[in-house]
A and B are shown apart, each in its own frame.
Chain A
Amino acid sequence: MTQTQDTPLLEVKDLRVEISTKAGSFYPVNGHNFTLNKGETLGIVGESGSGKSMTATSLVRLLPKHAAKVKSGSIKLEGRELLDLSEAEMRKVRGSEIAMILQDPQTSLNPSFTVGEQISEAFRLHAPGPKKTMRARAIDALRKVKVAAPEHRVDCYPNELSGGMRQRVVGAIAISCEPKIIIADEPTTSLDVTVQAQYLRLLKELQDDTGMGIIFITHDFGIVANLCHKIVVMYFGRIVESGSVERIFANPAHPYTEALIGAVPKLRGHKGRLTTIKGQPPAPMEPLQGCPFAPRCEKADSRCFAELPPTLDADGDGEHLASCWRVLDQ
């Protein structure tokens, strides 16, 4: 596939995901717009429940079958519309073009298969080759993610590995088929600080080697700052602010973003929990008027409670967007 300069790696437009339950339906992903270019890292930041993971899942079309579905919008991978692909075609995309690293390394490896088996399964599906080479390729993949003694580890079961090691294995699986995009869904939350740092460095190195795009999902602005080029901040299923790292850190346009940045502890590496924002996000099906963040917002006024703010251009160049009435005031 040819890729021209102006075709982004991934382009998401007006993406809406609907979850329907007996009690009603709601949109955990509500009108997303963002793009990801080659070699770029996009951070999706938000509290738990804000719809980050749902966004990631909808990108690979793995939403819970009966409960959730993409209501509208478009996901284009190098100009190709993913939402139009058949399930079989989509399976080819998963793993080989878009890979994913899941939240919990403790449970995201299948306990019943060896590390080698799980890595080579991806090869078998996307880059078949002689059976004999599978093991060698698996070892190779392990080596790439800097697992020590990969010849040995390849035959181990997940429970025989440490947490950090497991996370590397998950990484190995993700990069094994040299995907164009890796979606990393809070890949480091359960790791300790040093391992976390090592792992992030590793991801960055891999990106430098292969030029892949990374979508990094986290609640931790501390990580985002070091790793990402662009940031998307999510609240209650909506993108409330987006833009480059530098601009957002320098000049957060949305009070929520502000609060999130404020929640990053000064001492880097400490696992910050977003406890400093008062109150709770609204319940999914709660009827809402106005800005969903308004009840928790210190700067909210009557307009905030009355009307939902549209997406506004914060810096006037279209590169930094936010949905907050305050942008108009500036």
Chain B
Amino acid sequence: MGLRTALMCKKFKEYAVLKYLARRVASSLFALLVITVIVFLLSHLSGNPVDALLPDDASQEQIDAFIRDWGLDKPLWQQYATFLGNAVHGDFGTSLKWQGEDAMGFVLDRMPATLQLGGLAILMSVVIALPLGVAAAVYKGTPIDNSAQMFALLGQSMPNFWLGIVLIWVFSVWLGWLPTSGMGTIYHAILPAIAIAWFQVSALARLTRSAMLEVLDAEYIKLARVKGVSESVVIWKHALRNAAVVPLTYFGILAASILTGSVVIETVFSWPGMGWVAIEAIRGRDFPVVQAVIIAYAVIYMISNLVVDLLYVAIDPRIRND
């Protein structure tokens, strides 16, 4: 009911929201532009693609042809200008490693896999962290609080690749419950998602806890109780609704760090997503794909931040009117 009724309320300042969004989009685009420069420079500072892609005993003609074909003989700024011009159209060239594949197309093909894994990881971390943080706040100072915080901390204290491998051995090999690796059914996604999510649970639970503590002291919580609202509704509806804003602001960072986590975890679990592409492409000096994948990461990050901004506006009437 929230957003619709809000729209009906005449004080809703649609215009201000649009302006705010426009500003956010513009600054995101600027950030993206800078990222293209960084990405372009970094990939050109690193090892020569000639040596990564041509055989050890390639002839000079082969090398020359390769350099010509990929424009590696032009001055750097010219290469960048060409790169940017094409990039605007989503054209990052064709992959050097995955022959014949359009670089951005190839990355986009892998994106659903990463989003699927990331989505599940976010889901898991939210589903675990929110109740954990809420319980920790409600039972502040009790063993429940302590063990909730301990559980959360544990995830932040284990290298994720190590956790991933342990999960594989425990749940796939010894217990035989889940497949070890690869992509296919939802079961394939569970272990890698846990390996990514656990790390996030800590931060999220911690934020939820402190936000809940603050909210639970509020007068309107007392009023809800006075109205005869049951304790669980007080906590999950009245309190969490207001406390949720705080962890929500963390979602932008959460999304980014889940994507980053996927770089390592996708390798461990042979999950053919963007993280996997990134590693393989960098190892193979596949310039076009490296550039495409980093830009894709950046775009995902920025979109998720914009979404967070929007949600923020939708969820909290106070902000909507400020």
Complex contact B318–A111 (CB within 8 A): yes
Q: Which residues of A contact B176 (CB under 8 A)?
A: none
Mask, B239-260, CB within 8 Å of A = 1, is 0011000000000000000000
Contacting residue for B226 out of A102, A107, A117, CB 8 A:
A102
Asked if A237 is at the interface (CB within 8 A of a chain B CB), the reply is no
**Known contacts A102-B222, A108-B219, A155 near B227 by CB under 8 Å:** no
Mask, A83-98, CB within 8 Å of B = 1, is 0000010011111100
Complex contact A113–B228 (CB within 8 A): no
A248 to B272, CA, bound (A): 83
Q: Which residues of B contact A13 (CB under 8 A)?
A: none
Judged by DSSP, the binding face of B is: helix
Asked if A7 is at the interface (CB within 8 A of a chain B CB), the reply is no
Query: Which B residues, 1 to 29, have Cβ-Cβ distances below 8 Å to chain A?
Result: 1-2, 5-6, 8-11
A156 to B223, CA, bound (A): 18
CB distance from A319 to the nearest CB of B (A): 31
Complex contact B230–A112 (CB within 8 A): no
Q: Which residues of A contact B238 (CB under 8 A)?
A: 110
Asked if A104 is at the interface (CB within 8 A of a chain B CB), the reply is yes
Residue ID in chain B nearest A156 by CB atoms: B9
Q: Which residues of A contact B11 (CB under 8 A)?
A: 156, 160
**Known contacts A111-B220, A122-B228, A125-B227, A155 near B8 by CB under 8 Å:** yes
What is the interface residue range for chain A against chain B?
A: 35 or more
Asked if B317 is at the interface (CB within 8 A of a chain A CB), the reply is yes
Complex contact B321–A159 (CB within 8 A): yes
Query: Which B residues, 205 to 244, have Cβ-Cβ distances below 8 Å to chain A?
Result: 218-220, 222-230, 238, 241-242
Query: Which A residues, 137 to 162, have Cβ-Cβ distances below 8 Å to chain B?
Result: 152, 155-160
What is the interface residue range for chain B against chain A?
A: 20 to 34
Complex contact B219–A173 (CB within 8 A): no
Complex contact A93–B9 (CB within 8 A): no
Contacting residue for A107 out of B220, B228, B229, CB 8 A:
B220
Complex contact A173–B223 (CB within 8 A): yes
CB distance from B71 to the nearest CB of A (A): 55
CB distance from A113 to the nearest CB of B (A): 7
Asked if B35 is at the interface (CB within 8 A of a chain A CB), the reply is no
Query: Which A residues, 214 to 246, have Cβ-Cβ distances below 8 Å to chain B?
Result: none
Asked if A170 is at the interface (CB within 8 A of a chain B CB), the reply is yes
CB distance from B321 to the nearest CB of A (A): 6
Residue ID in chain B nearest A153 by CB atoms: B9
Contacting residue for A121 out of B5, B10, B229, B315, CB 8 A:
B229
Query: Which B residues, 26 to 42, have Cβ-Cβ distances below 8 Å to chain A?
Result: none
A160 to B318, CA, bound (A): 9
Complex contact B9–A155 (CB within 8 A): yes
Residue ID in chain B nearest A155 by CB atoms: B5
**Known contacts A112-B241, A125-B229, A160 near B9 by CB under 8 Å:** yes
Asked if B145 is at the interface (CB within 8 A of a chain A CB), the reply is no
Asked if B316 is at the interface (CB within 8 A of a chain A CB), the reply is yes
The A/B interface has a contact count, at CB < 8 Å, of: 91
Mask, A152-178, CB within 8 Å of B = 1, is 100111111000000000100100000
Complex contact B226–A62 (CB within 8 A): yes
Complex contact B222–A159 (CB within 8 A): no
Query: Which A residues, 66 to 114, have Cβ-Cβ distances below 8 Å to chain B?
Result: 88, 91-96, 99-100, 102-104, 107-114
Asked if A126 is at the interface (CB within 8 A of a chain B CB), the reply is yes
Q: Which residues of A contact B224 (CB under 8 A)?
A: 110, 121
Q: Which of B6, B218, B219 is the most central at the interface, judged by chain A CB atoms within 10 Å of its CB?
A: B219
Complex contact B228–A104 (CB within 8 A): no
Q: Which residues of B contact A96 (CB under 8 A)?
A: 228
Asked if A60 is at the interface (CB within 8 A of a chain B CB), the reply is yes
Complex contact B225–A104 (CB within 8 A): no
Q: Which residues of B contact A93 (CB under 8 A)?
A: 228
Q: Which residues of A contact B228 (CB under 8 A)?
A: 91-96, 122, 125-126
CB distance from A80 to the nearest CB of B (A): 16
Q: Which of B2, B220, B238 is the most central at the interface, judged by chain A CB atoms within 10 Å of its CB?
A: B220
Residue ID in chain B nearest A160 by CB atoms: B11
Q: Which residues of B contact A121 (CB under 8 A)?
A: 224, 227, 229
Contacting residue for B220 out of A62, A99, A108, CB 8 A:
A108
Q: Which residues of A contact B226 (CB under 8 A)?
A: 60, 62, 94-95, 99-100, 102
The 8 closest A-B pairs by CB, nearest first: A95-B228, A94-B228, A157-B317, A108-B219, A100-B226, A110-B220, A95-B227, A107-B219
What would 20 A/B residue contacts be, using CB atoms closer than 8 Å?
Answer: A60-B226, A62-B222, A91-B228, A102-B219, A102-B222, A102-B223, A102-B226, A107-B219, A107-B220, A108-B223, A109-B223, A110-B241, A112-B317, A114-B5, A121-B224, A122-B228, A152-B10, A155-B5, A157-B318, A159-B318
| Residues in A lying within 8 Å of B, measured CB to CB | 60, 62, 88, 91-96, 99-100, 102-104, 107-114, 117, 121-122, 125-126, 152, 155-160, 170, 173
Given contacts A92-B228, A94-B228, 16 further A-B contacts (CB under 8 A): A62-B222, A62-B225, A62-B226, A99-B227, A102-B222, A109-B223, A110-B238, A111-B220, A155-B9, A157-B6, A157-B321, A158-B317, A159-B317, A159-B318, A160-B9, A160-B11
